[in-house]
Chain A
Amino acid sequence: MSEPPKERVKYIDTNLNLPYHYYAGDYKALYLRALKDKKILGSRCSKSGKVFVPPVIASPETLAPCDELVELPHRGIVTTFCVVNVPVYGREIEIPYVVASVALDGADVSLYSLIQECAAADVHMGIRVEAVWKPDGERQGDHTDIRYFRPTGEPDAPFESFIHRL
């Protein structure tokens, strides 16, 4: 604690210190490892054929195994987004900024990412975006390896093409 309590008897300080180390699990570890190699992996449902990213071992929809890993392109569509105007704990980034749900081409669920290299006002549903990676040698195998997505300048995707991937 940085400052001692002024009226000690009214409360006590409890310095909770609970260490955790989360196992990624072998499956998600493959995904994280692939990020380091500048690849995005998803997994395909053995029943419905839907592709989940990050990969899951089973489809939450069908509960069937998703045991086929697929490599996904680094491009996709902004399906929904928001413009953040308040500082967020743990994130040093200039406001306003855009957080978007990005449906990669060939994926049936979206990833969350920042959208940069454009004005917040220019981001809209259906805008095509591509991943901007950390340079070689700096990628650690975690989600920050994709720094953000940026608009590609391609024509917008029609709403019908991503309505089921919001």
Chain B
Amino acid sequence: MTKLRNVAVVGFAQAPIVAADEHHTGPEMLYPVVQAALESAGLERSDVDYQCAGSSDYVDGRAFSFSQVLEVMGAWPPVQDSHVEMDAIWAAHLVWVKMQAGESEVAIVCGFGKTSEGSPSHVLNLQLEPFYAAAIGLDPTSTAALQASAYMARSGADDRALAEIASKNRAAGAKNPDGQLREAATPEELMATPWAVKPLREGYLAPIGETATCMVLAVEGRAEKICDRPAWIHGVDHRIELQALGSRDLSRSESTTLAARNAFEMAGLASASAADVVELGSTNPAEELILRDALGLPASARAQGGPAINPSGSAQCANPLMNTGLLRLAEGFRQLSGRAGERGVPGAKRAVVHASAGHGLQQNIVWVLGTERRWS
């Protein structure tokens, strides 16, 4: 494996995840978060040489929406800035690439999305192919249900298997002070909730919320000075599949498997099972089971041993669009740097982090984080 530059996550801050913050604009939500992230890292804005945001014009209902947050990320004197029209975890990937290219040493990544100002189900419908898929009114819940159905048919997983996964996440989410859905629920309680789109019940679905996030990344030499316990990036890769739902096997996530294989090879990690923590960007239990399958993890919520899976409660307990993925990377950082509070996995040294974009797990990114530098 080629020797790469050691890059670490060294700071993170977020706004509370809520259904609607009626008191602040998107930039106003982000402002204290950027300040808190910089302060937690002991940095001034002038220490940051690159910034990248993840957001969506359609979510925010305005063209070039990212440009509105420059006033709180920092834009004077003019700075080196990029943006991805994706979840901010892909902005973090861009920062990592930029650092590999030697063009940045300390960078911030911001995520924001005022989901409460628009209609996410309408917006996400437009993410589909317009002639057939979008035209019949598919939304993310219905495409997720199509996927769940395909997985259940292939694997034999039943409603209870989904309920047990969902219940496990709800129990974990109840302990996460930064989550949105913080009420534990038994499998039986969840199985008693009505169908949202069969075979997915209302109790299995993630609430769509809004927040703002800011992560600080730094290269070796800077990272150790900024953070007492940096979370070093050992490996990362992301892969995308076809947009058309009918042209891929919805019961599997090939792109997760491939991205994981490449990230694990880069990291020198034998498998996801060898990590201490696995944090998945699944917004419902069927997605989690498909991702577990793709990563070679146990298919049952009751499996003993192996890594702690979704100690945060996963995206199932909070899905603030454009931030959901970055929050997974943040969970990896929090777990490895002793910042996860009560839900901290004792002695965690390596974390696998996953996030997804698009309908039916269309695009997937997999990271490996570690408490030690990967390359010496």
Contacts and interface: CB of A to CB of B under 8 A. Distances in A.
Interface string A29-66: 00000000000000000000000000011101101000
A57 B212 CA distance: 16
B31 A16 contact: no
B119 A18 contact: yes
B58 A18 contact: yes
Given A26-B24, A63-B45, A58 B71 contact: yes
Given A25-B28, A60-B70, A16 B22 contact: no
Nearest to B44: A63
Given A12-B130, A25-B25, A26-B23, A20 B70 contact: no
B182 interface: no
Contacts of A24: 25
Contacts of B185: none
Nearest to A27: B28
Contact of B117 (A14, A23, A27): A23
A10 interface: no
- Chain A facing B: main interface SS: loop
Contact of A18 (B35, B123, B135): B123
Interface in A1-30: 12, 14, 16-28
B35 A63 contact: yes
Interface stretch (B72-80, B267-275, B329-337): B72-80
Interface residues of A, number: 21
B133 interface: no
A22 B74 CA distance: 23
Most chain B Cβ neighbours within 10 Å, of A18, A21, A63: A63
B239 interface: no
A19 B118 contact: yes
Most chain B Cβ neighbours within 10 Å, of A23, A27, A28: A23
B117 A20 contact: yes
A126 B72 CA distance: 31
B175 interface: no
Nearest to B123: A18
B25 A63 contact: no
Contact of B135 (A12, A21, A22, A57): A12
Interface string B128-148: 001100110000000000000
Given A25-B28, A57-B28, A19 B22 contact: no
A57 B24 CA distance: 10
Interface in A100-152: none
Nearest to B29: A25
Most chain B Cβ neighbours within 10 Å, of A12, A19, A24, A58: A58
Interface of B: 21-25, 28, 31, 34-35, 45, 58, 61, 70-72, 74-76, 114, 116-119, 122-123, 126, 130-131, 134-135
The 7 closest A-B pairs by CB, nearest first: A20-B61, A60-B71, A25-B25, A20-B118, A26-B23, A61-B76, A25-B24
Interface of A: 12, 14, 16-28, 56-58, 60-61, 63
18 contacts: A18-B58, A18-B118, A19-B118, A19-B122, A20-B117, A22-B25, A23-B22, A23-B24, A25-B28, A26-B24, A27-B28, A56-B71, A57-B28, A58-B72, A60-B71, A60-B75, A63-B35, A63-B72
Given A25-B25, A28-B25, A63-B72, 14 more contacts: A12-B130, A12-B131, A14-B135, A18-B119, A18-B123, A20-B61, A20-B117, A24-B25, A25-B23, A27-B28, A57-B28, A57-B31, A58-B31, A60-B72
